[in-house]
Amino acid sequence: MEKSALKDQCPKVSIAPMVDRTDRHFRYFCRLITRRSLLYTEMITTSAIINGDRHKILDFDQFEKPVALQIAGCDPREVYEAVKIAEDWDYDEINLNAGCPSDRVSGNEMGAVLMAYPEKVAEMIAAMKRATKKPVTIKHRIGIEGKNVLPDYFERTLLDKYEDMMSFVKTVEQAGAERFIIHARIAVLEGLSPKENREVPPLRYKDVYKLKRELPHLNIVINGGIKTIGDIEGHLRYVDGVMIGRAAYDNPFMLAEVDKFFNDGKVNNITRRQVIEGLIPYIEKIEKEGVKGYAALVHTLGLFFNKKGSKTWKQLITPPWPEGYSGKDILFKALDSLPQDVLDEAVLA
Ligand SMILES: Cc1cc2nc3c(=O)[nH]c(=O)nc-3n(C[C@H](O)[C@H](O)[C@H](O)COP(=O)(O)O)c2cc1C
């Protein structure tokens, strides 16, 4: 496929992979609010796909599309096998995690530690490309601090220079990665918790802009600390797309507005009432399948972020529920009890 065609396909806004958050229920909820954003799964390890309960791990509702599957792995053969298996699920993109700093992941040479091994990453990307015709992308950091983690033969463990990132990206590009999603801070592989690794190392947006400027043919998506529509607008002047993580989870209704950034896109002028009404048949369906309604509703706690009624919403959907109530009953009760003006407030007044 021509690079220019891929550029057109670069989603202007995507919702970041987040373990324990971006499961199928959250994605369904998101899709009610943003029709255009690309939604990512949580990180799924290659061994979970190969050895685990595949339906449980990979099934999703067609309504969620477009959805990108993020995999974490370290062995090209396993990566190939996992992507081949996932082909039956028809994800819209397969993404490799090279940005997650958690011990569990980097201890297995998965996630951010892979940035020290660009050739190996290139092999994995090539294996993924052999296994699927779908776009193959990578999510990584601007660099890593690998002190006490990388083997002694590394002359430097602090791989945080712009040139380090550039060299990594060029090697991975050779293997055919079609988009680079860059969390604009380094990952410190030892000594910081995953949470601290999303907050402590400073954001270096300018390095990501520079990469796009120097390699303009690449699809570059920026990630990290992006919270508002204004922030998104600002970044889109320099890069092809923006990925939002925590802000999308904490304030999901914001996503109604991001559809305007897509080609021919416009604000999804929906109300919170319509979102709740959209959830009712979904909750009914999953409860019939034996899934607890709260498993989905827990991801909607932020729907009234910074609005009157936020506390009531959280109290209503958080168990214990009144005796005999189903998720559907809770949602009808919410439609009755929440401030009607907030329920009916559309994005465009
Ligand atoms: C709870 C949580 C889980 C995360 N899990 C993943 C993951 O599975 N894969 C991944 O690449 N990044 C993961 N991340 C990192 C996010 O994708 C994102 O890069 C990071 O939060 C920075 O973006 P933000 O400032 O918009 O949240 C996670 C972040 C959070 C908060």
Is residue 143 in contact with ligand 1, taking CB distance under 6 Å?
no
Same domain for 252 and 143: yes
Is 235 found in the same domain as 140?
A: yes
**Closest Cα to atom 29 of ligand 1:** 18
Distance 281 CA to ligand 1 centre (A): 29
Pocket lining: 111 vs ligand 1, CB cutoff 6 Å: no
Active-site residue, 74 included:
no
- In the chain, how many domains are there? 2
> How far is the C-alpha of 145 from the C-alpha of 156, rounded, in Å?
9
**In a shared domain, residues 132 and 242:** yes
8 A C-beta contact, residue 13 and residue 181: no
Task: Single out the catalytic residue among 10, 30, 74, 100.
Answer: 100
- The tens-digit pLDDT sequence of the chain (349 residues) is 344 444 447 999 999 999 999 999 999 999 999 999 999 999 999 999 999 999 999 999 999 999 999 999 999 999 999 999 999 999 999 999 999 987 666 557 899 999 999 999 999 999 999 999 999 999 999 999 999 999 999 999 999 999 999 999 999 999 999 999 999 999 999 999 999 999 999 999 999 999 999 999 999 999 999 999 999 999 999 999 999 999 999 999 999 999 999 998 899 999 999 999 999 999 999 999 999 999 999 999 999 999 999 999 999 999 999 999 999 999 999 999 999 999 999 888 6
CB-side neighbour CA atoms (13 Å) of 151? 4
- ipTM associated with this complex: 1.00
**Protein residue with least CA distance to atom 13, ligand 1:** 18
Q: Whose CA is nearest to atom 2 of ligand 1?
A: 18
> What pLDDT shows up at residue 6?
42
* Residue 156 to residue 119: CA distance in whole angstroms: 17
Question: Is 348 part of a structural domain of the chain?
Answer: no
Model pLDDT, residue 5: 42
Query: What is the extent of the structural domain holding 87?
Result: 3-261
Which of 14, 18, 40 most suits a substitution to test ligand 1, by most atoms within 8 Å of the C-beta? 18
The CATH number of residue 282's host domain is: 1.20.120
Name the token pair of 206.
């300018």
Beta carbon of 150 within 6 Å of any ligand 1 atom: no
* pLDDT value for 2: 41
Asked if residue 224 and residue 95 are part of one domain, the reply reads yes
Distance CA 144, CA 160 (A): 6
Domain endpoint, select from 261, 288, 317: 261
pLDDT at 101: 87
Q: What are 146-150's contacts with CB under 8 Å, separation 24+?
A: 146/113, 146/116, 146/189, 147/189, 147/190, 148/189, 148/190, 149/106, 149/113, 149/189, 149/190, 150/113, 150/116, 150/189
Residue 39 lies in a domain: yes
How confident is the model at residue 348, as a pLDDT? Answer: 81
Q: What is the pLDDT of residue 1?
A: 39
CB atoms within 10 A of CB 254: 21
Residue 287's pLDDT is: 97
- 95 in contact with ligand 1, CB cutoff 6 A: no
Residue 267 is assigned to a structural domain of this protein: no
205 Cα to the center of ligand 1, angstroms: 17
Q: Which residues contact 87 (CB under 8 A, 6 or more apart)?
A: 131, 132
163 and 30 co-located in one domain = yes
Ligand 1 atom nearest residue 225's Cα = 25
Instruction: Give the single-character DSSP code of 21.
Output: T
Residues in the chain: 349
Q: What is the CATH number of the domain that holds 212?
A: 3.20.20.70
Closest ligand 1 atom to residue 42 Cα is 8
pLDDT of residue 347: 86
| Omega of the bond leading into 216 within 30 degrees of 0 (cis) | no
Q: How far apart are CA 24 and CA 41, in angstroms?
A: 8
